[in-house]
Every structure is written in structure tokens, then in C-alpha cells.
Structure 1
């Protein structure tokens, strides 16, 4: 059965995964671990290591929970580190419910997969790293950019940090005001009133919400 998880606010559902990060050395790869809050798309925990180990995942989650609080659900694929007893016991001790991909299904963890694609398709992403320290330094900078500067299309072109802390609403109101004023001055330039996207109020895994809600702008609202 397909896992179905729904979030209506930050802190409810986290997904996580591990991706290979290539080194310049043949047959050597590093492992980038990442936890993402599926509502805000914020990376709430990460690390880069030379190997995939459940104890390292436990440490990452302990640090993320200490900083961001305890999520209700954690979703992952069915890899060894993801289904390890060490991680299961650590998360269940906090009362977290665990969810996993269906066997042989690659798209049950879309949020983590999308975040890794963003990382690897950035123009400044090196195809290979000379050392573990170089990989860590690059991903440290990437996470700061992703959380604080990346205008995410899935959350109304706000940053993950803005959606996570709720400050997107103030920015959204400013966008609406600017669009109202411009539309009132130049309605002839529009075929229809402009729309201002905002983050969806409900998101999920194997759940189909309205991805972006909009607010119509009218001259009367200016």
C-alpha cells in the first residue's frame, strides 16, 4: 500500500534520504544525508560522511530534533540505514511514527529527491570533490543558500526559511500591495488581474493538494 502523509504546518512530517557525492578518486563516493520538512521545504538536518551508517543518521536526527522539535512522522526509502533498528528505536523513543517507500517504487519520497536534484543541478555544483572536507564545505554553503535564498516554486516563490517561520505572510502582503498598485495604474497592460502565488495550506506524500493558492488582484482592492 502506498504511504500517505499529510502536513498542514511545519514540524509535522520530515522526509530524509542519502545521496552519493562523487570524489575525484575512482570507486570513492561520499554520502550526503539530508532531512527536509515537507511543508516548508526547509533542510532541518544534514551531514556529509564517507559512509552510510545508521549511527550517523541517529546523530543527525538527534541534532535536528534538539533544534527544531519532534516531528510527528519521518518518511524515508527502504535502505539499510533508513530501516535500521538503531534509528527506529531512537525515533520511536520520541513518539515519532515511521513511514517508508513501497518496495521498488522510486517516487514515494519526492521531497528529498527534489532537494537533491536542486543541489546537483546548481551551476556551481562540482561534479567531483577532492576530499570529504571539500564536499562538506560546499554542502554547508549550499544548505545556507537553499534555506535562506532559494525561491522555491513549490512554495509560492518564497524561501524555505520564510515558510518555516511564517514570515512569508508579510512578504506576500507586500507583493499583493505592489501588484495592486501597479494594476491600478496600468490595467490596460493586463489581460486579467495578476495573481500572487502563496504556499499551499496542505501538502503531502502520495496526496494531491492544490499546490499553489492564488489571490486575484483588482483595481478596487488597491
Structure 2
């Protein structure tokens, strides 16, 4: 009995599509009888299940034949070689530097994509090949389409109304170059400008434009990493911080600066400047703070007092006063009774020494006046970073100002509306 060969369905498909010469080796093709090959090519497809899909397959036969044409095979090999070269160059340059080169020549990249792509899918593939996102391409294209030389961002104010207006740029320059605010932080300068309705920028936007205009580099100073605070106050006069620092004047006399700071508002409640480090001076500033804050209280208030471990804060005089005070004071030593440091009050000393005193000749005859100016400016004029646009005194007197987000949001919307009304040289 003669044994018949059974062929794989993939071989039959190759014959049905007439691509057997491209995919199958010659020795194997010669082993197949011509009658069998003819049968596979001419057999009636209607007798097979799924024959209704044959027409859609036939429509792609020409494409398959082109793909496996000898000339196309050569092009395919060239493309594979190009991809290998591309990956090698990318490895030499580094993906980060490659992206930087693309960004630097973004106008040429946008023109290239526009001229070579006929569909969104083609554009997305080229973007992926060039290591950029489709969103970046659209943003770069918008920069080209909406170019305007009168804008700092080179974008038309009407088409892109979210950007900062010309008047606000001038106002930023005025504030950042004002010598009066040289010892202020950038955040405090922005806070004052916003509170006076001179700008509608958010703090992050103010930082970005100040950096673009070159106003932040000259103000940079080394900052130690701040220790994380693990205490929060929900209202004023709930938690106080008390400490002493020293400062040596140019005529070589050492002074001690005593302060008491409210945690919630960051207001300096009381302070003293003296050549002596003593419990009596420390007690005087504490009494003054209590009299100023609780003089009209009918009930006995409670205050949590955070101090350092120095002898000026921890002695018989201070402890005796706390035990007999009209205020219930719970004194705790930082890093001993609690796990966190007394960094809130230490921050006021850093501002005093590194910002206010750094460009002033502080002498024994002027140090009291300079500290007076600092405390007044810090409490009443200079917006505190933690309060965005408000000063410690403003928050101390009205704690509802702590929620500044609605005002910032309203200013942002007003800026958009004003920019949309701005006349443009393009009359767009």
C-alpha cells in the first residue's frame, strides 16, 4: 500500500498566496509533486470553513509579494542596518544628550515631521523614533505658529493668554532690582507684590520668570538642610518657641539676642538685645510676651513652650515663674522632651544673620537699632514664605488669611481674561 505524505498547512498557504519561492528552500520545492502544488493553487476554496475571508486575504497578496521581492529584501536589510547604526550612535551620545540635541533643534524637527508625515500615526512613530512625545511636538509646533517677538516666551498673548503679561514682567523686574528688598527671599518679594495687586503670578511662576531674567543667580546662598518639624499648631498662641543666639559686632563685642516666636503665625512676640546671657533678661522677654498676648484673657490660657537646652532657658528663675504664672505653660526641651529641634526660632536667626546683617556694618552702637528694624520688617512688612503673601502679624491678627488659595486662583483667571483682551500686532 502506497503511503501518502501529509504537508503542513503553512506550506499550503504559501502556495495559495504564490509566495512559496520567497519563503521555502529550492530542495524542498522540488520534492513536492507538480500535481500537488497545482492542486493547492487551484483548489476550490468554497468547500473550506472560513472561505468567506479569502477575498480580504487576496487583496493583500500583492503587498506580500512586494514585501518579499528581491529588491525590497535589499531595502529591508538596509533599514535593519540603519537601525543598528542609529542604536549605536544613540549609545555613544547617550539618550539624555540625544534628547537635548533634539530640543535645541526643535524648529528643524517640527519642519521635518510636518513634511514627511501624512497621518497622525506616522507622526507618532517618528516622534517615538526621535525620543520625543507627541505632546512635545504639538507644543513646539505651537511655539512656531504663535511666535511673537514682543513676548518673553515668544508666544502671542491672544493665542496663549495663560502667559505673563508685559506689565507684570516690568513689575517683576522693578521688585527684583529694588535694593530695599535685597535681604528678602524671592518668595517674600513675590508675596508683597501679590498682596499689593502688582502681579497675578503664582510663586512658582515668579521663580521661573525671575530665573529666566537672571535675577535669582545673584541671590543664591548656601542653605543647610533643614530638619523636619514634627509639630503643628492649629491657632495662634498655642505653641511658642524660645531661644537665644549671639552675634559679634565689627568692634568685637558679643551680644545676645533673646526672642520668643509664635509657631502658627511665626510672629516674633518679644525680644531683647544684651551683652549678658542671664535668666533675668530671658524672664523679662517671656513676661512681656505673656502680657502682650494674654492681658485681656478672662480664662487661664495654655501655651506649649519649646526651648533649647541652654541654662538661660532652664533654671530656677524661669521654672519658678512658670509654676506661678497666670498662663498654664508646658515647657519642653527640644531633642530631649520632644524628638524634634527648635528649628522654627532658629530660622528667624538665620534670616537675621544671613540676610539682614550680611551687607551691613553691625557695630555695638547700631546693633539694637538694626535688630529693631529687622523685627519690624519681619513681622509687619516682609511676607513669610509659609504664609505665601501675608506677614506674620497679618496671620497673627486674622488666622483666616491662612487659606490663600482662592485669591491665587482668582488672580490667575483675571490674568487670562486681561490677556485675551490685549491687542496684537498680528491682529489675530
Q: TM-score, normalization: structure 2? A: 0.39
Q: Give the structure 1 partner of residue 332 of structure 2.
A: 99
The answer to whether residue 380 in structure 2 is matched with residue 148 in structure 1 is yes
> Partners in 2 of 1:126 and 1:90 — Cα distance?
39
Residue 88 of structure 1 deviates from its aligned partner by: 1.7
Aligned Cα root-mean-square deviation (Å): 2.8
Alignment counterpart, residue 11 of structure 1, candidates 225, 237, 258: 237
**Number of corresponding residues:** 182
User: Which residue in the other structure is 2:289 paired with?
Assistant: 64
Aligned to 1:111: 344
1:170–1:76 Cα change, 3 Å: closer
Give the whole-Å Cα distance in 2 for the aligned partners of 1:63 and 1:79.
20
Q: Provide the C-alpha distance between the structure 1 equivalents of 2:331 and 2:230, rounded to a whole number of angstroms.
A: 12
**Mapped contact 1:148–1:161 kept (Cα < 8 A):** yes
**Number of the residue aligned with 1:73:** 304
Q: Distance in 1 between matches of 2:403 and 2:282?
A: 35
- The alpha carbon displacement at 1:21 in A equals 1.5
Q: Deviations over 1:40-88 (max 9, x none)?
A: 0000010100111001111111111111125511111100001112112
Between the aligned partners of 1:10 and 1:43, the Cα distance in structure 2 is 12
1:85–1:6 CA distance, 2 compared to 1 (3 A):
farther
The answer for the alignment partner of 1:90 in structure 2 is 321
Contact 2:356/2:374 (<8 A) preserved: no
Residue 368 of structure 2 is aligned to residue 136 of structure 1: yes
Whole-Å Cα distance in 2 between the matches of residues 81 and 123 of structure 1? 25
2-structure distance, mates of 1:124, 1:79: 24
Larger of the two Rg values belongs to structure: 2
Distance 2:314 2:402 in 1: 40
User: Which one has more relative contact order, counting CA pairs under 8 Å at least 6 apart?
Assistant: 1
Is contact 1:15–1:74 with CA below 8 Å preserved after alignment?
Answer: yes
Which residue of structure 1 lines up, in the alignment, with residue 415 of structure 2?
Answer: 182
CA apart distance, 1:134: 1.5
Question: Within 2, Cα distance between the matches of 1:17 and 1:127?
Answer: 24
Bigger mean CA deviation after superposition, 92-101 or 135-144 = 92-101
Tell me the secondary structure at the aligned position of residue 305 of structure 2: strand
Write 1 or 2 for the structure with the bigger share of strand.
Answer: 1
Supply the distance in 2 between the matched residues of 1:179 and 1:144 (Cα, whole angstroms): 31
Deviates more, 1:65-74 or 1:110-119: 65-74
Whether the 8 Å CA contact 2:322–2:329 is kept in 1: the answer is yes
Please tell me whether the aligned partners of residues 158 and 168 of structure 1 are also in contact (alpha carbons under 8 angstroms): no
Q: Deviations over 1:118-144 (max 9, x none)?
A: 11122554666322x411111011100
Question: Separation in 2 of the partners of 1:163 and 1:121?
Answer: 25
User: CA offsets, 1:76-126, max 9 Å, x none?
Assistant: 1100001112112212323200011225x9960010110101111225546
Look up the SS of the partner of 2:257 in the other structure: strand
Unaligned runs of 5+ in 1: 188-222
Q: How far apart in 1 are the matches of 2:334 and 2:230?
A: 10
The answer to whether residue 262 in structure 2 is matched with residue 31 in structure 1 is: no
Task: Verify the 8 A CA contact 2:380 2:391 in the aligned structure 1.
Answer: yes
**Partner of residue 33, structure 2:** none
